[in-house]
């Protein structure tokens, strides 16, 4: 089976085109070693089945960001039979930059010239026939959102696979070509048979590609360095800059020959943007959008949450009645059904949150929000683009941390990830609801609200501390496209939100399931002890660590054990307390014997701030390494301890 890769700039409609080509024949996995999603699909054309891999959207292939490295490595190492490059015709010149880079990799290429309808509306006409001839590839005009040009694209892919030709390097300015061919000569002299393509290798070395540079001998590099030194002198520029300039010069010449633009009236997108990012209205609109997102997520979500909750309770009762009393029964009813159920009830919230987030993303609002908020976010040590992960953090830290990939600078990315777990995720809510309901029945809502605010405050303070201490002199960059507003397709938003919800379910479900079994075992062993009693392993362990929490007001073993298991997943705290105190229904009578209102609040503060759950730590490790994951564990535990201590001490004096 032939494999083709599909790549393109962000906002070029690549994902919509991929979905339109493959329909429902898709598989989502991860790229090896990174948490970036890898989508693979299939389509049929001319009796052939072709496998198609969706590469991350990138502006170039210089291997600077994770996305660029993935796309590049796939094209070089996996060697797909052909590459489809999706081009946003309304933004031809910048899109052609990536096209040139891929053509130079000597691949068989098909260009999908997307956004045809919008291009027409904007008065842009492109002579694709002659452009295709000059580039030596097939160009197919498509409109992914309207499913136009799909058959033609499939035909072109088949034809290109059968008899497409690899392109030759383009002719750049004479001055530049002289140095390029000299570099090629040096390579040929030192490495007579190492490279498949000397021209491309030479170009990459001039561009300063570290990976390619490392693949040639030191001797070679010495010769090349001499050459680039004189090149820099002649151009008065760094070679890597010269390469980009040469590419854009070539693109300009193409654009002059084949593109004509008519003056048209201001588009509706421009009109909308004048209001949305207006000097006075920008911030109020941003706040309104955020408020709407959250209100809708929680009000609509709660309806379904209630239904799911009742369903699990009914299921538990039914299973309990069938199984009767006993160890196995308690394991299945309280452990598995109760434990897994406590996660599944969040599913409607997660689904809705991602529904709104992907709507805002597809419509083009997200970059505007970053534009509007950047100055404020910078003031608190973050970046305009950090706000999306921070908002997502209210849902679940795992996708939130994964979404920091849009941040280019390492500093911004690490800081955003480290402070993210302080945004109170949905899993902590059941703990607040339970404890606040018992100790602050009159104003539980307000108490929960103060916890969310406290989380935001601690994340701001932490970001400021990190910026001033860990990353004093590191640069932060803000260079971002503001794509036109576009009407999103309902189907793609639904499928995106559905996929997210499924991944949450899968990840949380497996961890919770494991946690339940571990708790059950530790609470039942050694054989013969009272379930979760003082003599069980769990009880002994709790007694050892409980003195640590004495200064915070909850130095009894049940609290320690609950918090310990909360490390597996925060909502497990509630379930564990239920188990340890003899059932969730009697907690309202038992808990006041252990807590007063001040220590109960201190306990909630601790739950809010302490060490993120295992799955989150795993994600941090995957994204920025074990060192920072460990740092996050220690820092958040310390922050939780200090803040809870202050809350308990001051609270005890006042109340």
Partner 1 sequence: MILSECNPGFSGYVKSIMGEGNVKKRLLVMGVTPGSMITVVKKAPFGDPIEITIKNYSLTIRKEEASYITVEKGDEKK
42-48, long-range: CB < 8 A, 24+ apart: 43/154, 45/151, 45/154, 45/155, 45/157, 45/158, 46/154, 46/155, 46/158, 48/2, 48/158
For partner 1, give the closer residue by CB, 384 or 399: 384
For partner 1, give the closer residue by CB, 97 or 531: 97
Please tell me whether residue 277 binds partner 1 under the rule CB under 8 A. yes
Please tell me whether residue 256 binds partner 1 under the rule CB under 8 A. no
Please tell me whether residue 240 binds partner 1 under the rule CB under 8 A. yes
Check whether the bond before 526 is cis (ω within 30° of 0): yes
Please tell me whether residue 62 binds partner 1 under the rule CB under 8 A. yes
Please tell me whether residue 91 binds partner 1 under the rule CB under 8 A. yes
3-state secondary structure of 613: coil
Q: Is the Cα torsion angle 380, 381, 385, 388 positive or negative in sign?
A: negative
Other Cβ atoms within 10 Å of 15 Cβ, number: 20
Q: Closest distance between partner 1 and the C-beta of residue 370, in Å? A: 8
| Of 47, 475, 526, 653, the one binding partner 1 by CB under 8 A | 475
Q: Which two tokens stand for residue 87?
A: 């081009």
**What's the rounded Cα separation, in Å, for the pair 418 and 617?**
10
Please tell me whether residue 485 binds partner 1 under the rule CB under 8 A. no
Please tell me whether residue 248 binds partner 1 under the rule CB under 8 A. yes
Total number of residues that touch partner 1 (CB under 8 A):
41
Q: Render 523-545 in DSSP notation, one character per residue.
A: HHPSTTSPTT-TTSHHHHHHHHH
Please tell me whether residue 495 binds partner 1 under the rule CB under 8 A. no
Please tell me whether residue 37 binds partner 1 under the rule CB under 8 A. no
Q: Closest distance between partner 1 and the C-beta of residue 498, in Å? A: 31
For partner 1, give the closer residue by CB, 93 or 317: 93
3-state secondary structure of 265: coil
Stretch touching partner 1 by CB under 8 A, among 276-284, 301-309, 394-402, 620-628? 276-284
Please tell me whether residue 566 binds partner 1 under the rule CB under 8 A. no
**What's the rounded Cα separation, in Å, for the pair 60 and 112?**
17
| Of 136, 282, 316, 551, the one binding partner 1 by CB under 8 A | 282
Q: Closest distance between partner 1 and the C-beta of residue 10, in Å? A: 11
Stretch touching partner 1 by CB under 8 A, among 424-432, 475-483, 527-535, 645-653? 475-483
- Contact partners, residue 113, CB within 8 Å, separation at least 6: 87, 89, 126, 128, 139, 140, 141, 142
**What's the rounded Cα separation, in Å, for the pair 106 and 401?**
36
Please tell me whether residue 172 binds partner 1 under the rule CB under 8 A. no
Other Cβ atoms within 10 Å of 102 Cβ, number: 24
Please tell me whether residue 77 binds partner 1 under the rule CB under 8 A. no
| Of 261, 271, 491, 506, the one binding partner 1 by CB under 8 A | 261
Please tell me whether residue 250 binds partner 1 under the rule CB under 8 A. no
**What's the rounded Cα separation, in Å, for the pair 302 and 346?**
9
Footprint of partner 1 on 393-432 (CB under 8 A): 408
Q: Which residue ranges make up the site for partner 1 (CB under 8 A)?
A: 59-60, 62, 64, 90-91, 93-94, 97, 238, 240-241, 244-245, 248-249, 252, 261, 277-280, 282-283, 367, 371-372, 374-376, 384, 408, 475, 477-484
């Amino acid at each position: 089976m032939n494999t083709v890769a599909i790549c393109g700039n962000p906002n070029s409609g690549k994902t919509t085109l991929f979905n339109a080509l493959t329909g429902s024949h898709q598989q989502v996995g991860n790229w090896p070693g990174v948490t970036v999603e890898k989508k693979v699909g299939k389509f049929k054309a001319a009796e052939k089945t072709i496998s198609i891999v969706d590469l991350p959207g990138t502006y170039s292939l210089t291997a600077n960001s994770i996305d660029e490295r993935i796309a590049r490595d796939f094209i070089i190492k996996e060697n797909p039979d052909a590459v489809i490059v999706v081009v946003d015709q309304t933004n031809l010149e910048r899109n052609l930059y990536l096209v040139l880079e891929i053509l130079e990799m000597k691949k068989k290429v098909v260009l999908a010239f997307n956004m045809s309808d919008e291009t027409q509306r904007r008065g842009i006409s492109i002579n694709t026939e002659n452009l295709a001839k000059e580039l030596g590839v097939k160009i197919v005009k498509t409109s992914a959102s309207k499913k136009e040009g799909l058959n033609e694209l499939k035909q072109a892919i088949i034809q290109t696979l059968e008899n497409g030709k690899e392109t030759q390097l383009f002719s750049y300015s004479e001055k530049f070509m002289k140095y390029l061919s000299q570099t090629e000569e040096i390579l040929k002299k030192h490495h007579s048979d190492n490279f498949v393509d000397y021209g491309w290798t030479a170009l990459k070395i001039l561009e300063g590609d570290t990976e390619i540079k490392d693949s040639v001998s030191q001797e070679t590099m010495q010769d090349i360095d001499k050459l680039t030194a004189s090149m820099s002198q002649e151009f008065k520029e760094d070679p890597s800059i010269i390469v980009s300039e040469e590419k854009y010069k070539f693109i300009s010449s193409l654009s002059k020959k084949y593109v004509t633009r008519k003056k048209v009236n201001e588009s509706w997108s421009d009109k909308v943007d004048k209001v949305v990012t207006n000097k006075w209205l920008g911030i109020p609109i941003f706040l309104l959008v955020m408020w709407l997102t959250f209100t809708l997520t929680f009000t609509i979500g709660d309806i379904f949450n209630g239904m799911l909750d009742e369903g699990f309770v009914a299921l538990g009762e039914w299973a309990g009645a069938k199984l009767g009393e006993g160890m196995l029964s308690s394991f299945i009813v309280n452990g598995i059904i109760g434990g897994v159920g406590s996660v599944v009830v969040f599913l409607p919230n997660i689904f809705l949150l991602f529904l709104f987030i992907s709507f805002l993303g597809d419509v083009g609002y997200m970059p505007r929000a970053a534009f509007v908020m950047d100055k404020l976010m910078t003031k608190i040590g973050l970046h305009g683009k950090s706000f999306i992960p921070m908002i997502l953090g209210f849902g679940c830290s795992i996708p939130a941390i994964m979404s920091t990939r849009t941040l280019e600078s390492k500093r911004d990315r690490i800081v955003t990830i480290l402070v993210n777990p302080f945004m109170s995720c949905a899993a902590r809510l059941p703990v607040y609801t339970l404890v606040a309901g018992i100790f602050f029945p009159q104003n539980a809502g307000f108490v929960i609200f103060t916890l969310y605010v406290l989380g935001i405050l601690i994340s701001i303070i932490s970001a400021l501390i990190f910026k001033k201490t860990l990353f004093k002199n590191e640069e932060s960059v803000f260079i971002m496209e503001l794509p036109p507003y576009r009407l999103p397709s309902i189907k793609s938003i639904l499928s995106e939100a559905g996929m997210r919800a499924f991944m949450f379910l899968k990840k949380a479900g497996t961890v919770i399931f494991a946690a339940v079994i571990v708790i059950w075992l530790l609470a039942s062993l050694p054989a013969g002890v009272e379930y979760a009693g003082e003599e069980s392993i769990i009880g002994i362990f709790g007694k050892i660590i409980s003195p640590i929490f004495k200064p915070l007001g909850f130095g009894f073993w049940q609290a320690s054990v609950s918090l310990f298991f909360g490390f597996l997943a925060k909502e497990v705290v509630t379930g564990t307390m239920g188990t340890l105190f003899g059932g969730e229904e009697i907690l309202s009578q038992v808990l006041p014997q252990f807590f007063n209102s001040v220590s109960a609040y201190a306990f909630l503060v601790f739950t809010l701030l302490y060490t993120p759950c295992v799955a989150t730590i795993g994600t941090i490790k995957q994204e920025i390494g074990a060192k920072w994951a460990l740092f996050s564990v220690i820092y958040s535990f310390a922050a939780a301890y200090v803040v809870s201590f202050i809350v308990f001490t001051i609270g005890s004096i006042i109340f």
